[in-house]
Amino acid sequence: MRNLALLTDFYQLTMMNGYLKHKLDEDIVVFDYFFRKNPSNNSYTIVAGIEQVIDYLENLSFTEEDLQYLRGLNFDEEFLNALKGFKFSGTIYGAPEGSIMFPHEPILRVKARCFEAQLIETALLNILNFQSLIATKASRICEAADGDPVMEFGLRRAQGPDAGIYGARAAVIGGCTSTSNVLAGKMFDIPVVGTQAHSWIQTFDSELEAFQAYAAIYPDRCLLLVDTYDTLKSGVPNAIKVFQELKEKGYQPKGIRIDSGDIAYLSKEARKQLDAAGFHDVSIVASSDLEEETIYSLKIQRAAINGWGVGTNLITSSDSPALGGVYKLAAIEKNGGLIPKIKISENPEKITNPGYKKVVRIYDAHNNNAQADLIMLDDEVIDTTQPLTIFHPIYTWKKKTFNRYKIREMLVPIYEEGKLVYPRKTVAEIKAYTAKELQTLWPEYKRFNRPHLYKVDLSQKLWDLKNEMLNAYKEKNSL
């Protein structure tokens, strides 16, 4: 595992040094990790990367070489000494990896010494923003594929090796069935798949020979790329010949892959040829510049595709290339109590929610559907025997009352005073959890164009606190 201690922005180190010099380094602070806008205009975001944040924290220490480098950046010995024995000793609560979360909700709540909480901001954002982005994009693509297997093929187009590796992991959490990325397969025990490239077909004197050569080595997983020369006149007829030979030997051929041309037309015609030859069970896989809109359109056109290979647009989340997750100070401990802190901005979207908070999801007690989320102060309790009324945080006259409902606290312990308490899961387990969570969302929230907006409200107590703080600031500054 890598030690990423220096994977931080320089200003975190200069602030840490400043906190040390002003004797603020031991003060306990609370930071929230949250985002303000879902990627791709989706209505939800899938949280991914929690385990990599854990790996980062578990391995976080400064080596002699790191310290020497920082010495070269003119940090003094007092600061370097403070870094020498660095170990994360804080408390983190967060949404379990694979959870569905919404704008403005704390996803991780970090309570730690100011010195520690500040350092980890950058790496934490780097890890969670990327993986959550890709898991969400994968979820949209898989939603469009409507249950068909989606293979992640993006490694060659990913923004560098880490994006390829962790993007593949996130894509599987978001719903992909497999990846072409062998290293990701090994690291995360996720299914690895592959067909063959055009170069394989071109290497042989004829397409038929190329197909036969492949089938000879892989008779039980023979999926042939049919678009090198002419999909319908050469590729599919040659594939059928090879499939017949395989069938005679007792093997079940897997399918064909179409990587160019009009996928709707070609797939339907290919299906006709395959069915006429008796290969009803053979799959047709499509690849080449796919994303959710194209897959959705191909579905509407009744394209005869039952597997999708998706690379570039998935691994780069091409329509929405970054998740703007942020890490904001929410409280500071003073004399044993937590003092809420707020960030005020000209832009109302950027005003933070103050205090030590939690997120409660409200479910319909009859069908277990998620109805709304409430951001609350941590010490608040909901009496579920009583009706619960929530209100829109801006248009406060918009109200909703729940009578038969269940609640769930979304943030679970990850670290308790430096001790890791979060049960690690396999990627397959996280993927299954995400799939289950998605089932609690009405289809209207999963529509990838103009989805219904999921309600995220503030509890009365948090709303009051926020507005009191805003008013107090305005009064103090006579605004």
Return the residue of 268, 392, 425, 446 that touches ligand ATP, per CB under 6 A: 392
Q: Which residue is it, tokens 């948090």?
A: 462
Interface region with ligand ATP, contact rule CB under 6 A, candidates 55-63, 184-192, 376-384, 448-456: 448-456
**Choosing among ligand NIO, ligand PRP, ligand ATP, none, which partner's interface includes residue 301 (Cβ < 5 to 8 Å by kind)?**
none
> Shortest distance, CB of residue 195 to ligand NIO, whole angstroms?
3
Q: Looking at 180-301, which runs of residues are DSSP E strands?
A: 223-225, 255-258, 283-287
User: Within its chain, how far is the Cα of 449 from the centroid?
Assistant: 19
Q: Strands 150-152 and 307-310: what pairing?
A: parallel
> Shortest distance, CB of residue 202 to ligand NIO, whole angstroms?
15
Binding residues with ligand ATP: total (CB under 6 A): 10
398 belongs to the binding site for ligand ATP (CB under 6 A): yes
**Choosing among ligand NIO, ligand PRP, ligand ATP, none, which partner's interface includes residue 400 (Cβ < 5 to 8 Å by kind)?**
ligand ATP
What lies within 8 Å, CB to CB, of 265 at 6+ separation is: none
195 belongs to the binding site for ligand NIO (CB under 6 A): yes
- The residue among 198 and 221 lying less far from ligand PRP, judged by its C-beta, is 198
Distance between CA atoms of 206 and 242, rounded to whole angstroms?
A: 13
Check residue 20 and report its DSSP letter.
Answer: H
Return the residue of 122, 234, 252, 288 that touches ligand PRP, per CB under 6 A: 288
- The residue among 382 and 428 lying less far from ligand ATP, judged by its C-beta, is 382
Query: In terms of residues, how long is the chain?
Result: 479
308 belongs to the binding site for ligand PRP (CB under 6 A): no
Alpha helices of 204-235 — where are they, by DSSP H? 207-217
290 belongs to the binding site for ligand PRP (CB under 6 A): yes
**Choosing among ligand ATP, ligand PRP, ligand NIO, none, which partner's interface includes residue 289 (Cβ < 5 to 8 Å by kind)?**
ligand PRP
Return the residue of 156, 302, 334, 399 that touches ligand ATP, per CB under 6 A: 399
Q: Do 183 and 152 touch, CB atoms closer than 8 A? A: no
Q: Looking at 176-227, which runs of residues are DSSP E strands?
A: 178-179, 223-225
> Shortest distance, CB of residue 399 to ligand ATP, whole angstroms?
5
Distance between CA atoms of 227 and 430, rounded to whole angstroms?
A: 36
**Choosing among ligand PRP, ligand NIO, ligand ATP, none, which partner's interface includes residue 288 (Cβ < 5 to 8 Å by kind)?**
ligand PRP
Return the residue of 455, 459, 462, 465 that touches ligand ATP, per CB under 6 A: 455
Return the residue of 157, 268, 299, 446 that touches ligand PRP, per CB under 6 A: 157
153 belongs to the binding site for ligand NIO (CB under 6 A): yes
In single-letter form, the type of residue at position 351 comes to I
Q: Do 368 and 69 touch, CB atoms closer than 8 A? A: no
How many other CB atoms sit within 10 Å of the CB of residue 218? 16
318 belongs to the binding site for ligand PRP (CB under 6 A): no
- The residue among 257 and 455 lying less far from ligand ATP, judged by its C-beta, is 455
Interface map 174-193 toward ligand NIO (x if CB under 6 A): ------x-------------
Distance between CA atoms of 25 and 113, rounded to whole angstroms?
A: 6
- The residue among 19 and 308 lying less far from ligand NIO, judged by its C-beta, is 308
Q: Between the CA of residue 364 and those of 101, 104, 249, 408, what are the distances in Å?
A: 18, 22, 55, 11
Distance between CA atoms of 233 and 78, rounded to whole angstroms?
A: 75
Nearest to 151 by CA among 187, 176, 182: 176
**Choosing among ligand ATP, ligand NIO, ligand PRP, none, which partner's interface includes residue 194 (Cβ < 5 to 8 Å by kind)?**
ligand NIO
Query: At 252, which helix (H) or strand (E)?
Result: none
Rg, the chain, Cα only? 26
What lies within 8 Å, CB to CB, of 106 at 6+ separation is: 32, 33, 34, 330, 353, 357, 358, 359, 375, 411
Q: Do 28 and 111 touch, CB atoms closer than 8 A? A: yes
**Choosing among ligand NIO, ligand PRP, ligand ATP, none, which partner's interface includes residue 181 (Cβ < 5 to 8 Å by kind)?**
none
Q: Which residue is it, tokens 């832009």?
A: 347
- The residue among 345 and 401 lying less far from ligand ATP, judged by its C-beta, is 401
| Residues 174-203 within binding reach of ligand PRP (CB under 6 A) | 197
259 belongs to the binding site for ligand PRP (CB under 6 A): yes
**Choosing among ligand PRP, ligand NIO, ligand ATP, none, which partner's interface includes residue 182 (Cβ < 5 to 8 Å by kind)?**
none
401 belongs to the binding site for ligand ATP (CB under 6 A): no
Enumerate binding residues for ligand PRP (CB under 6 A): 153, 156-157, 197, 259, 287-290, 309-313
Interface contacts to ligand ATP, rule CB under 6 A: 390-392, 398-400, 452-453, 455, 457
